[in-house]
Amino acid sequence: MNFSIAAPAAHRIELLLFSNGSATAPAQVIELDSLHNRSGEYWHVEVEDLGEGCCYGYRVFGPRVPGGHGFQPAKVLLDPTARAITGWDVYDRDLATGPGPNTHACLKGVVTERERFDFQAHPRPRNSWQRSVIYELHLGGFTRRENSGVPPEQRGSYRGLIQKLPYLKDLGITAIELLPVFAFDPADAPPGRDNVWGYSPLSWFSPHHGYACGDDPLQLRHQMRELVAACHDSQIEVLLDVVYNHTSESSRCGPTLSWRGFADRNYYHQTSNGEYLDVSGCGNSIAANQPITTRLILESMRCWALELGVDGFRFDLGIALSRGDQLKPLDRPPLFLAIDADPELSDLKLVSEPWDCGGLYRLEDFPSRRIGTWNGHFRDGMRRFWKGDEHSSWTLAERFKGSPDLYGNKPAALGRSVNLITAHDGFSLADLVAYNRKHNLANGEDNRDGENHNNSWNHGVEGPTSDPTIKALRQRQQRNLLSSLLLARGVPMLLMGDEVGRSQGGNNNSWCQDSPLSWMVWGDDHCDLELKQFLQRLLKLRAALPQLFNPLVPPREVRRKTVETPSGIWLQWHGVKLGQPDWAAWSRTAATSLHRSSDGALLWMGFNAYSDDLVFELPEPTSPWRRIIDTARPPGEDLPAELPLSEGATMKLTSRSLVLLLAGEMTADLSF
């Protein structure tokens, strides 16, 4: 077995071999000689008669001077490239902090196979961006409840999620985006809390042990492969929310677990006197501009994509990875250049948050040709419109047609903009329409944590209510928001449980809540099954007519119809009067239509966020209008299985409702 580690400034390294993960002392210590066991920046040694399952760690010796590297030879370090981790039963995070030894309470790497995923038996689904619908979920919380239908021994696990793939397939999504499944430290949280979401990585290579069935660390990779294989067999892609922007080692006063003890200056952005620079909000920021760090991240991506079979990544605070020395933003960051040029990563779906906690926000000019971005402006614009804010109608139109105002006056290319209304970080959809403010006291931080500016609206009562009028309006608003998301151009992302009205009691930052507060809800008594049916039909509609709702080439926009009618499909915006959109600050309405040459209109959609009902003029359709969606109608009739004719030259839109009409010829093959 060959062991190799990067430690450019180290003077001496010891390889520690343990008899098992629970061992409190090494069975063998092998000293690496700088003359015979070093090649450039890498230390290495070959050890005979070892195999899979070997448990190991390192001690690294080097200069410890003010402003220098953080060498802590008393600490046993975890190999940054370990494919599996053990020792959780003896691990003590506190003992990894300070000058004392932690040998009896350390984590160990485990030697594993490095076989490639069997793509021949379970090929990638390769769903096009045009037809992609992403569903963001927490792997543990999705199947944790007793009534999830998952066997007790599999709840909250990789195998437990496999049991629920038929549910996801039936819903109509094409990809799942898993909150972090990299091994993370649950103890990286305030006293009495656990880090549940997983944005505290201990390793960029090992799957998280807490989602495994059983205690064998060698089974971790096999169970992750089982999940990916089952998803591929269901034509569902697997995207991972990955945290490369920071680690669980926190600030310079935090624990020495892995990266810091090997190459502190290479892995972390620092000042000249050794203070950590932080744009992650977690105490440290990874220096992805450093060659060793770039190589490590690329190897991690290849591990998950080629060995474990995942189909893509979503980079948490990804723009932070574009920062250079002293956090200067780079137009050609080394990591993104390497990703763009890597042939083994060329067929993956890549998405990033375009912001970080240091104020950097790059959407249209995100410095990678291949990486799309979460469109936070879409979320904010749609929320503000349906909330009834001023200056929101024009923004609604821009977001709906692909945000050309944000992408150089051209609608974003498909895959470049991921649209969302809700995500793990913030209110759920049900809470978005039920709370004006966050309610995070359960997190133990006196309600200081979580976003304060949510663009939410409780519609008259904070939290649950028995008032039928308010309940009906909230139900309508959920349908308005989902329709706005799924009928807009771009790649939509849904949040776990939004389809059934999952509430977190107004908590908009449930990162430390491994409880029913943040788990998926199951069962007819706890789920809004009518909302689920509405979403299922909405997804079928989007999938059946991608050329209308998510065209590869956006239609030409005509502001005023002239004598010379455009050829092909063209788009026009309206107000209550045809061809007269109202973009004034006080406007709360908009309407749009798609036309085919001079034949007539194929689609008309009206948005009324005003406090009163309004009557809209309709364009002449190519064939009689069919009413597809009217969110003001009762559940079941809001998007009915049988599509009624809509006669007349006008359409009345109830206050705070959305209506979609399609020409009859476009509905011939629709089936709900």
User: 3-state DSSP helix/strand/coil percent for the chain, to nearest 5?
Assistant: 25, 20, 55
Distances (CA, A) of 152 to 149, 157, 321, 414: 9, 10, 40, 41
3-state secondary structure of 392: coil
Strands (E) located in 117-188: 134-137, 175-178
Contacts of 295 (CB under 8 A, 6+ apart): none
Residue 635 and residue 534 in contact, taking contact as beta carbons nearer than 8 Å: yes
The CA dihedral of 306, 312, 317, 320, to the nearest 10 degrees, is 50
Residue among 237, 241, 311, 316 flagged as catalytic: 316
Q: Is 188 a catalytic residue?
A: no
Residues in the chain: 672
3-state secondary structure of 664: helix
CA distance 231 to 228: 5
For residue 121, report the phi and psi dihedrals to the nearest 5 degrees. Answer: -80, -30
CA distance 26 to 56: 8
Residue among 237, 307, 353, 380 flagged as catalytic: 353
CA distance 397 to 399: 6
Q: Is 567 exposed, middle or buried (0-12, 13-18, 19+ CB in 10 A)?
A: exposed
Contacts of 79 (CB under 8 A, 6+ apart): 3, 5, 56, 57, 58, 109, 258
- Token readout for 350 is 């890549």
State which amino acid sits at residue 634.
P
392: phi > 0 → left, psi -120 to 50 → alpha, else beta; which? alpha
State which amino acid sits at residue 498.
D
3-state secondary structure of 633: coil
Quick one: which of 384, 392, 380, 390 has its CA closest to 355?
380
Strands (E) located in 166-320: 175-178, 237-242, 312-315
CA distance 77 to 15: 10
Quick one: which of 628, 573, 622 has its CA closest to 598?
622
Q: In the 3-class helix/strand/coil scheme, how is 28-40 assigned residue by residue?
A: EEEEECCCCCEEC
Number of C-beta neighbours around residue 138 at 10 A: 25
Q: Is 557 a catalytic residue?
A: no
- Token readout for 347 is 């067929």
- The secondary structure of 325-368 as a DSSP string is GGG-B-SS-HHHHHHHH-GGGTTSEEEE-SB-TTS-B-STT-S-
CA distance 59 to 13: 6
DSSP 661: E
Residue 247 and residue 138 in contact, taking contact as beta carbons nearer than 8 Å: no
For residue 181, report the phi and psi dihedrals to the nearest 5 degrees. Answer: -115, 5
**593 pairs with which residues across the strands?**
572, 604
State which amino acid sits at residue 458.
N
For residue 431, report the phi and psi dihedrals to the nearest 5 degrees. Answer: -75, -25
Q: In the 3-class helix/strand/coil scheme, how is 563-599 assigned residue by residue?
A: CCCCCCEEEEEECCCCCCCCCCCCCCEEEEEEEECCC
Q: Is 165 exposed, middle or buried (0-12, 13-18, 19+ CB in 10 A)?
A: middle
Residues designated as active site: 316, 353
